[in-house]
């Protein structure tokens, strides 16, 4: 009887001491549980993605030092852990992305990752050399196929990105089971895709899979956990929880014989909510911050952002500024006060009308008799941004940005104004999903005042302004944006779906010409398959559709 433990942990990039402490702690726990093998995630020792930290020799030396400590802790147990290794050959990249198999104080095997993703947020071929050999690990009478993340995503060599299928290479050696060390990022449709890939592998190879994933956020990239054990009859023996650290120990004989299906429920809005809360919590925790400041406008975006912050950091660590102008409705102020009281957070009201008129007075010699336009509108947004940053500097609060993906896509935000902040909380959430999040937050009791949810959205930068004055309904806008951004469909393909040609071309043009704004804004917590930022690299001066 073999027992295999999976440790689904929240690592911190470059925090070797902290990561090693967690790993050693769970090794000790696995020993108490009588586990034969304990498994940790891809690049667990250094955290994922380490990016250009990998170019520092000292970073690699610290990783090697950590492996040595793990080796000394392996008496009586086998440890499988991910870490970078040096490529001893002059040709090729300097490093491998590797999985160590360590037992009885010896490194028994090091298996390198073969399939190196270089798409969306991934850039592994920048740093790593792919594996070219595949050998099973033999341990306590079992033959084990050791794989790293993407290595299980080319089933039968059908993925056009790759020319080799690692598990096909292992199959002829008759493994008893597969271990997969992953760092698989969250997006709201990725959990289902992962399950289907695992099922397809089990259907092809007829052996159980033990899949261990990271949990936690690394700036904008969020890992959701959901580690999985698959039985050879293609059922889910168990799927571990999402968005929390967890540890489980499994009896291999029971996994082989099981005929059950234990899968975590999947719900898009619940997953987005939990991902955003975790993203904010880890951003602050891993940077050593505790308190945030938010501009609370009385609109849906700032309301949802404030609830997320309160749930992530605790209401005692959230402060909001209400900054009404002469164009702000009384409802917006009252709604913001009510929300603040519902959450139990500190709020302050700083009126900006007098500040705005001071700015206008100083600008009158330059503006002359020119009519009121976007310059005066943006002046208000930038005054608010300045006030938020002033409180941030004075008290050490981090400003949270409240822009949503729909507005960020078409440029409906003011640089150095409402687009300021250290982290964009809902910058990868379309407006329609922001409303769905608000409804979800109110499912047990009214947290966000109903009027905030039902009133027409407006920036309130001029009299009687509404978003619908210059944008189509968000139900339509968001569908066009999703087809273009996530679907990578061009104008003709979108128009063929029945959308108005003039509207489609206008929206796509707005997306492209506003890349310069997104280039300068805070990182947005990634919850979709194609977020603005590191996973979507567009030229600022490109002519396409502009």
Going from the C-alpha of 445 to that of each of 334, 437, 448, the distances in angstroms are 19, 14, 9
Please report the domains of the chain, with CATH numbers, ordered by start residue.
3-266 (3.60.110.10), 277-467 (3.40.50.620)
Question: Quick one: pLDDT at residue 258?
Answer: 83
CA–CA dist 420, 384 (Å, integer): 10
pTM of the model: 0.95
CA–CA dist 38, 453 (Å, integer): 48
Hey, is 217 helix, strand or coil?
strand
- Does the pLDDT at position 500 exceed 70? yes
- Residue of 210, 420, 190, 188 whose CA lies nearest to 295: 420
Phi-psi region of 155 (alpha: psi -120 to 50; beta: other; left: phi over 0): beta
Beta bridge partners of 251: 3
CA–CA dist 212, 43 (Å, integer): 12
- Residue of 96, 126, 118, 142 whose CA lies nearest to 255: 142
Q: Nearest 5°: CA angle at 323, between 321 and 327?
A: 155
Say which residue, 376 or 219, is predicted with more confidence: 219
Q: What is the mean pLDDT of the chain?
A: 95
pLDDT in tens, 428-470: 999 999 999 999 999 999 999 999 999 887 766 667 667 666 7
Helix-strand-coil percent breakdown of the chain, rounded to 5?
40, 20, 40
- Does the pLDDT at position 394 exceed 70? yes
Token duo for residue 415: 């640089």
- Does the pLDDT at position 540 exceed 80? yes
Question: Quick one: pLDDT at residue 323?
Answer: 94
156-165, 284-293, 324-333, 354-363: the lowest-pLDDT one: 324-333
Beta bridge partners of 228: 211, 239
- Does the pLDDT at position 300 exceed 70? yes
- Residue of 24, 19, 30 whose CA lies nearest to 63: 19
Question: Quick one: pLDDT at residue 188?
Answer: 96
pLDDT in tens, 62-106: 999 999 999 999 999 999 999 999 999 878 999 999 999 999 999
Q: What is the mean pLDDT of residues 512-537?
A: 95
Q: What is the mean pLDDT of residues 212-223?
A: 98
pLDDT in tens, 20-44: 999 999 999 999 999 999 999 999 9
Question: Quick one: pLDDT at residue 514?
Answer: 95
- Residue of 340, 404, 380, 364 whose CA lies nearest to 465: 380
Q: What is the mean pLDDT of residues 250-264?
A: 90
Going from the C-alpha of 541 to that of each of 411, 414, 415, 535, 546, the distances in angstroms are 15, 19, 18, 18, 9
Say which residue, 2 or 259, is predicted with more confidence: 2
Confidence of residue 499 (pLDDT cuts 50, 70, 90): very high
Per-position DSSP letters for 24-69, written without gaps between them: HHHHHHHHHTT-SEEE--TTTTT-S--GGGGG-HHHHHHHHHHHHH
pLDDT in tens, 267-297: 999 999 999 999 999 999 999 999 999 999 9
Question: Quick one: pLDDT at residue 330?
Answer: 79
Question: Quick one: pLDDT at residue 463?
Answer: 73
Q: Nearest 5°: CA angle at 358, between 352 and 363?
A: 125
Question: Quick one: pLDDT at residue 465?
Answer: 65
Radius of gyration from C-alpha coordinates of the chain: 26
- Residue of 388, 421, 391 whose CA lies nearest to 403: 421
Confidence of residue 546 (pLDDT cuts 50, 70, 90): low
Residues identified as active-site: 42, 113, 149
């Amino acid at each position: 009887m073999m027992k295999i433990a999976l440790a689904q942990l929240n690592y911190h990039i470059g925090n070797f001491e902290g990561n090693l402490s967690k790993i050693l702690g769970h090794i000790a726990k696995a020993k108490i549980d009588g586990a034969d093998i304990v498994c940790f995630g891809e690049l667990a020792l250094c955290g994922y993605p380490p990016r250009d930290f990998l170019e520092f020799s000292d970073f690699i030396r610290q990783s090697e030092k950590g492996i040595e400590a793990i080796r000394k802790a392996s008496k009586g147990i086998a440890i499988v852990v991910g870490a970078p290794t040096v490529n001893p050959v002059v040709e090729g990249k300097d490093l491998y992305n590797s999985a160590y198999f360590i037992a009885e104080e010896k490194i028994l095997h090091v298996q390198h990752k073969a399939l190196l993703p270089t798409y969306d947020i991934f850039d592994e071929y920048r740093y790593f050399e792919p594996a070219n050999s595949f050998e099973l690990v033999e341990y306590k009478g079992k033959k084990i196929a050791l794989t790293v993340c993407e290595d299980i995503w080319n089933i039968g060599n059908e993925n056009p990105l790759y020319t080799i299928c690692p598990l096909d290479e292992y199959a002829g050696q008759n493994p008893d089971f597969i271990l997969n060390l992953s760092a698989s990022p969250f997006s709201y449709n990725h959990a289902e895709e992962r399950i289907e890939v695992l099922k397809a592998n089990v259907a092809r190879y007829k052996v159980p899979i033990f899949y261990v994933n990271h949990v936690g956020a690394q700036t904008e990239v969020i890992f959701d956990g959901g580690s999985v054990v698959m039985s050879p009859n293609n059922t889910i023996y168990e799927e571990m929880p999402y968005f929390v650290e967890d540890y489980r120990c499994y009896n291999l004989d029971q996994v082989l014989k099981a005929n059950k299906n234990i899968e975590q429920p999947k719900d898009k809005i619940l997953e987005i909510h939990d991902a955003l809360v975790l993203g904010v919590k880890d951003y602050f925790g891993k940077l050593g911050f505790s308190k945030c400041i938010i501009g609370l406008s009385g609109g849906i975006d700032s309301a949802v952002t404030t609830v997320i912050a309160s749930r992530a950091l605790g209401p005692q660590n959230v402060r909001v500024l209400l900054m009404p102008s002469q164009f702000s409705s009384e409802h917006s102020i009252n709604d913001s006060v009510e929300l603040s009281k519902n959450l139990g957070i500190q709020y302050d009201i700083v009126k900006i009308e007098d500040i705005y008129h001071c700015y206008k007075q100083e600008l009158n010699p330059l503006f002359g008799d020119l009519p009121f336009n976007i310059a005066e509108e943006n002046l208000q947004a930038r005054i608010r941004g300045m006030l938020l940053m002033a409180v941030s500097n004075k008290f050490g609060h981090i400003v949270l940005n409240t822009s949503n993906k729909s507005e960020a896509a078409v440029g409906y935000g003011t640089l150095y104004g409402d687009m300021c902040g250290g982290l964009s909380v809902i910058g990868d959430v379309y407006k329609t999903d922001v409303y769905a999040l608000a409804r979800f937050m109110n499912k047990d009791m009214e947290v966000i005042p109903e009027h905030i949810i039902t009133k027409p959205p407006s920036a309130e930068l001029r009299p009687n302004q509404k978003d619908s004055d210059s944008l189509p309904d968000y139900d339509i806008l968001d569908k066009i944006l999703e087809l273009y951004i996530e679907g990578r469909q061009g104008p003709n393909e979108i128009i063929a779906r029945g959308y108005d040609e003039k509207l489609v071309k206008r929206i796509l043009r707005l997306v492209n010409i506003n890349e310069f704004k997104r280039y300068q804004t805070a990182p947005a917590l990634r919850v979709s398959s194609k977020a603005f930022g590191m996973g979507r690299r567009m030229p600022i001066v490109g002519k396409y559709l502009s």
